[in-house]
Structure 1
């Protein structure tokens, strides 16, 4: 088990681990068992979403684990089809019921869905849910700076966190710079990109050899040193342990730059551009 994971502090005061555990496609009893293993290894930030259809598995894993609920941080996300205020409030409540939880530590709007243009209304629902004590910190996923600016302009409240696609093939340098200037924490989804392609990348393989680490460990350390919270997913106990064991070495500035230079203009995994993409 990993004993100590460094933490970042969000602008609203919530402290969160610098690496978390993604649960996409970890469903049913098999998924719950994988999540239990992750918690028992040392992961304390658990990431789920309404559309993953596994909030129940996350809740069951928390019950089965050896860790107290108050020592965990659980994230879930609002789907695009429920961005109307009343629907958003109900969706949050239903997510809590499925997970058998009294509150979420983090709750995020999953996508802005700009054509639908209801994300400000959804944001107001999250603001109110936080006031009621059923969410500790509120944020978003996949929001561009113009979306983030509008939230704060129209409600007076900005997100504590923005979870975005971020990996060596799409390093989001400008978006991360904007986050830092506006005190919004960056979080990385799909942090290891396309596994088969990136695990054989010559640049990262050579750096891994220098540190006697795996390629995955090098990439996750890169995220940490960028100041972003990665949420890798694995059902394998060995890989879960490998992914979280990244705090006993450091990458040099040259190594960080070499990895960042792997970015591509078309580096998104599924071409999901938040400026036009609509989530159901």
Structure 2
């Protein structure tokens, strides 16, 4: 079966500045380029991939686009645009990115912003309307319930914008809560047809190091599939961040174990690759 990993990062300190890594003391604070993933990607059975931004600058986006062009199995890039400057956002799309066949979506590191309502700034809303007009999707990297509340408001203001929750917006796996405020808000989000969910990053969320298993994440994966449905979910390995919780191959082993238990053959095809192709327009 085809499997598209919709959440892969790369970073190269000679190409762009990654502020969040500058004082990072983990294994993440070094360069990670796509060739390093190759053996694990093959072993995990991943047939396609989407690169996702790791810095709030265009240098990171340009580096990802260059990498995608040079890497046959990569199919798309979720880049960055200066959303607080709608005129510049429009200009960059018109002059640079909209015509690039690999440019599929936009993300901003909202979880690093002090204000959980960063996306509700009038200028940012204007930029999100520009994305919607160009049929470009938006990745939501939320880590708190307040981020879900914020994008619920975004959905009211920009109803035509398609959005996807990276890492299921951090469900309460570590505490075992079923399902608390996260669950209430994600259920509300699922009522909006333009919201999708990415089953990714859950090993780190589990906070068990390399000891996490499919059993740890299964209730939360089942919850998002119940509410978003098998047509609005896809998977992602979150390399190299996933290495904080063990090997990339092991992460995908756990995801596949859970998804094959919860879904029939057709549902598996949707979540493993068909939904990603449709959401990110990977064949267009």
Using the size of structure 2 for normalisation, the TM-score is 0.55
Measured after TM superposition, the shift of residue 47 of structure 1 is 2.0
Q: Aligned partners of 2:197 and 2:7: how far apart in 1?
A: 15
Q: Per the alignment, do residues 107 and 222 of structure 1 end up closer, same or farther by CA in structure 2, a change over 3 Å counting? A: farther
Measured after TM superposition, the shift of residue 93 of structure 1 is 6.4
SS at match of 1:192: helix
Which residue matches 1:199? 209
Alignment of 1:13-92 (within 5 A): 17=4, 19-23=5-9, 25=11, 30-36=32-38, 41-42=45-46, 43-51=48-56, 54-67=60-73, 72-78=75-81, 82-92=83-93
Q: Aligned partners of 2:169 and 2:100: how far apart in 1?
A: 28
Which residue matches 1:267? none
Which of 163, 170, 180 is the aligned partner of 1:166?
A: 170
Which of 190, 194, 198 is the aligned partner of 1:180?
A: 190
Q: Aligned partners of 2:255 and 2:165: how far apart in 1?
A: 23
Which residue matches 1:276? none
Q: Deviations over 1:125-181 (max 9, x none)?
A: 212332xxxx3x345443745533443444442433233641423772222211222
Unaligned runs of 5+ in 1: 6-16, 206-214, 254-280
Which of 147, 151, 156 is the aligned partner of 2:150?
A: 147
Measured after TM superposition, the shift of residue 182 of structure 1 is 1.8
Q: Per the alignment, do residues 232 and 156 of structure 1 end up closer, same or farther by CA in structure 2, a change over 3 Å counting? A: closer
SS at match of 2:204: coil
Q: Aligned partners of 2:216 and 2:93: how far apart in 1?
A: 33
Q: Aligned partners of 1:44 and 1:141: how far apart in 2?
A: 18
Count of aligned pairs: 212
SS at match of 2:257: coil
SS at match of 2:51: strand
Relative to its length, the structure with more helix (as a share) is: 2
Q: Aligned partners of 2:81 and 2:217: how far apart in 1?
A: 26
Unaligned runs of 5+ in 2: 15-30, 111-116, 226-232, 263-284
Using the size of structure 1 for normalisation, the TM-score is 0.55
Which residue matches 1:11? none
* Residue pair 2:131, 2:161 contacting (<8 A) in 1 also: no
Q: Aligned partners of 2:37 and 2:100: how far apart in 1?
A: 16
Q: Aligned partners of 2:60 and 2:213: how far apart in 1?
A: 25
Q: Per the alignment, do residues 36 and 49 of structure 1 end up closer, same or farther by CA in structure 2, a change over 3 Å counting? A: same
Q: Per the alignment, do residues 95 and 21 of structure 1 end up closer, same or farther by CA in structure 2, a change over 3 Å counting? A: farther
Q: Per the alignment, do residues 247 and 106 of structure 1 end up closer, same or farther by CA in structure 2, a change over 3 Å counting? A: same
Q: Per the alignment, do residues 216 and 44 of structure 1 end up closer, same or farther by CA in structure 2, a change over 3 Å counting? A: farther
Q: Aligned partners of 2:198 and 2:65: how far apart in 1?
A: 22
Determine if the alignment matches structure 1 residue 4 to structure 2 residue 6.
Answer: no
Which residue matches 2:280? none
SS at match of 2:250: helix
